[in-house]
Amino acid sequence: MSVPVITKIVRTDDQTARNWFKRWGAEGIEGLQDRPMPGAPSKITKGYEEQLIANVRRRPRTLSQPYSMWTLQRLADYKAEQTGIRVSYQTIRRVLAEAEIVLSRPQHKISSPDPEYLINVLAKGCTRL
């Protein structure tokens, strides 16, 4: 096959396909293996990610935390306390996003047990409680 045909099949650009051909020509089949990536190794493991997902699916108070809702920063702090591994809240967000979990902002409602409260609020023109 030609490079343009291959690039359509694997959805890449011509230069990338040519680079792979060049590596295959120079090194054979071993040249097609992924090479080590630069940078520091990941701090978290698959087990850490699984524990994080299990934790976020539980209410914080059931884990002896002093709050009732998770935030990304609270999760990062909790996991650092539990595992000794400190990661950023962006890392927590990425792991949760890969598991299709999104933390939303809490919705605050102001309410009262007073039966007159709702009548007074509606009389003032408030439509959002």
72 vs 60: CA distance, rounded Å: 12
**pLDDT single digits (tens) 61-77:** 999 999 989 999 999 99
32 DSSP 8-state letter? G
Dihedral over Cα of 58, 64, 67, 71: its sign: negative
pLDDT at 3: 83
CB atoms within 10 A of CB 93: 16
**pLDDT single digits (tens) 76-123:** 999 999 999 999 999 999 999 999 999 877 666 666 777 777 677 666
Give 113's contacts (C-beta < 8 A, 6+ positions apart): none
Position 59 confidence tier, pLDDT thresholds 50, 70, 90: very high
Position 51 confidence tier, pLDDT thresholds 50, 70, 90: very high
56 vs 75: CA distance, rounded Å: 8
